[in-house]
Amino acid sequence: MAENNAYQNALAQYDKAVAHLKLKRGIAEYLRYPKRELTVNFPVKLDGGDVKIFTGYRVHHSTTLGPTKGGIRFHHDVTLDEVRALAMWMTWKCSLMGLPYGGAKGGVIVDPKTLSANELETLTRRYATEISILMNPKGDVPAPDVGTTPQIMAWIMDTYSMHQGFSLPAVVTGKPVEIGGSLGRIEATGRGVMFAAREAMKQINLPIENATVAVQGFGNVGSIAARAAHEMEMKVVAVTDVSGGVYNPNGLDIPALIGRFNDNRSVVGFPSADSISNDELLALKVDVLIPAALENQITSANASAVKCRVLAEGANGPTTPEADDILNDKGIFIIPDILCNGGGVVVSYLEWVQDLQSFFWEEDEINKQLERHVVNAFKRVLGEAQQRNIDNRTAAQVLAIRRVAEALMIRGIYP
């Protein structure tokens, strides 16, 4: 197995979890496969007049619990196997969080930073048109992911609505509030990460005040998690982004760092801090390490160097199965991705519900629901891990897979 193949890693995690469940062989086999996969190759007219062909994907893993839910990624390294893995993880994440969703994911092979605003809009609208044969408010509801934004979700919603002849804000989540987005959605994933981290710290009797934190990735998830940690009076000592990183053992001024990042799109060069690389950040001796970038960041090659007490997975699939074994042997408390970053899809669900009923809630109510879902899921995972004497990731997947499998058995196999 290639350790850096996200789909093979997702299948390995699945097989490990299924070994603890008494599923019929056909059910266990069925849930290993995506329900449907769409590959689209489409032209985009660039500002200079040239036409460039782009490739995109939309994968539905499961529709057993309800409509498929999952983000759209614009990144130059997108692959079909990566999208398959992310769709599968979304199925388990939605199931674990108790949501009436199956998992999906989408992506386009593109570096959005190389496109003008006009080219990005044109690409987005054309991709939305191509995948609209799968997308709809009751069947498949996309959301933002790496390289996509609320504005991109707005273009997708508008494109879909233009084809239908009337506005359908519920077709995507993560939209701007002005067109049906939910208060608290932008912050939801990062906030959820810190709710989960707080629960883990309580579990291992690690004081929250002045606890040290390192954050890999300073996009939407990482920056919000860092800000939440700062507000909880934890000490964020290191942050990296795609260009490099900064380190101060006495703690970074996170509000000022976020301001600099918003101005310069990088944390590099922040005053009163030393430079640090991604590899160095992952090896820091800190209380909480938050990988919030891409998958396959902690592998068998570097897991032995990880020295945190709590690993809070803000990203999807940041830790490979081989690395899991090493970290668990070291006694590191892993909060698995489908639990740790599930806050985003919880508030996406709340946004979808608000759009469907055209009735919106205050942010305090949203945040209470977010915290309740994350804390309850954390307790269920911890209980399952202790009862079965298994690691947290396997426990989370056992719970998630069992719910989907039970629903599948009740529904039956059509026809």
Distance (Å, whole) CA 311 – CA 313: 6
Distance (Å, whole) CA 215 – CA 46: 36
Please give the structure tokens belonging to residue 221: 């998830």
Q: Do 59 and 140 reside in the same domain of the chain?
A: yes
What is the share, in percent, of the chain residues with pLDDT greater than 90? 94
Q: Which of 135, 168, 133 is nearest to 154 (CA)?
A: 168
Q: Which domain holds residue 150?
A: 35-170
Q: Do 153 and 273 reside in the same domain of the chain?
A: no
Q: Looking at the domain assignment, is residue 336 inside a domain?
A: yes
The answer on pLDDT for 110 being more than 90 is yes
Q: Do 336 and 206 reside in the same domain of the chain?
A: yes
CB-CB contact of 130 with 100 (8 Å): no
Residues labelled as active-site residues: 105
The answer on pLDDT for 263 being more than 90 is no
Q: Which of 178, 130, 182, 177 is nearest to 156 (CA)?
A: 130
Q: Looking at the domain assignment, is residue 65 inside a domain?
A: yes
Q: Select from 276, 310, 340 the last residue of a domain.
A: 340
Q: 361-395: buried (b, 16+ CB within 10 Å) or exposed (e) per residue?
A: beeeebbebbbebbeebbebbbebbeeeebbbbbb
Dihedral angle computed from the Cα positions of residues 130, 133, 135 and 138, in that order, rounded to the nearest 10 degrees:
170
pLDDT of residue 3: 79
Give the confidence band of 118 by pLDDT, cuts at 50, 70, 90. Answer: very high
**Residue 78 belongs to a domain with what CATH number?**
3.40.50.10860
Q: Looking at the domain assignment, is residue 217 inside a domain?
A: yes
Q: Looking at the domain assignment, is residue 389 inside a domain?
A: no
Q: Which of 183, 184, 154 is nearest to 171 (CA)?
A: 154
What is the share, in percent, of the chain residues with pLDDT greater than 70? 100
Read off the pTM. 0.95
Give the confidence band of 294 by pLDDT, cuts at 50, 70, 90. Answer: confident
The model's pLDDT over 150-180, given as tens digits with 9 standing for 90+, comes to 999 999 999 999 999 999 999 999 999 999 9
pLDDT of residue 59: 98
Q: Do 205 and 336 reside in the same domain of the chain?
A: yes
Q: Bridge-partner residues for 216, per DSSP? A: 240, 291
Q: Do 333 and 221 reside in the same domain of the chain?
A: yes
Q: Looking at the domain assignment, is residue 240 inside a domain?
A: yes
Q: Looking at the domain assignment, is residue 377 inside a domain?
A: no
Average pLDDT over residues 273-298: 94
The model's pLDDT over 310-367, given as tens digits with 9 standing for 90+, comes to 999 999 999 999 999 999 999 999 999 999 999 999 999 999 999 999 999 999 999 9
Q: Looking at the domain assignment, is residue 29 inside a domain?
A: no
Instruction: Tell me: cis bond preceding 415? Omega within 30 of 0 counts.
Output: yes
**Residue 311 belongs to a domain with what CATH number?**
3.40.50.720
Q: Do 218 and 256 reside in the same domain of the chain?
A: yes
Q: Looking at the domain assignment, is residue 181 inside a domain?
A: no
Please give the structure tokens belonging to residue 383: 């209980």
Q: What is the DSSP letter of 22?
A: -
